[in-house]
């Protein structure tokens, strides 16, 4: 915009419009590519996410007192 302001009126206006169009088209392209990547990621998660788990099996870190146990016995973290 600084350069377009210093140019004669028809050239500065044309440069400003060209820059605005380029920015808008670039953002549109980025939006489309990002949407395709997001949809592909969602499909991959849907296909490869395990669905055979039937019941919740609590892990050691989720059991009551597990954080205290890990803090008192650092060798148990391995």
Query: Domain residue spans in the chain?
Result: 1-43
Confidence bin at 27 (pLDDT 50/70/90): very high
pLDDT for residue 69 is more than 80: no
Provide the 8-state DSSP code for 4: H
Q: What pLDDT shows up at residue 10?
A: 86
CB 43 within 8 A of CB 37: no
Mean pLDDT of the chain: 80
Q: What pLDDT shows up at residue 3?
A: 79
Provide the 8-state DSSP code for 73: -
Tell me the C-alpha distance between 57 and 2, whole Å. Answer: 63
Q: What pLDDT shows up at residue 40?
A: 97
The average pLDDT across 3-23 equals 86
Q: What pLDDT shows up at residue 2?
A: 76
């Amino acid at each position: 915009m600084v350069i377009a302001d210093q140019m004669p009126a028809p050239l500065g206006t044309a440069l400003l419009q060209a820059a605005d169009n380029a920015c808008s088209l670039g953002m549109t392209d980025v939006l489309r590519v990002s949407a395709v990547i997001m949809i592909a990621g969602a499909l991959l998660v849907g296909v490869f996410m395990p669905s055979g788990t039937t019941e919740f099996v609590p892990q050691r870190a989720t059991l009551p007192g597990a954080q205290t146990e890990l803090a008192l016995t650092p060798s148990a973290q391995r």
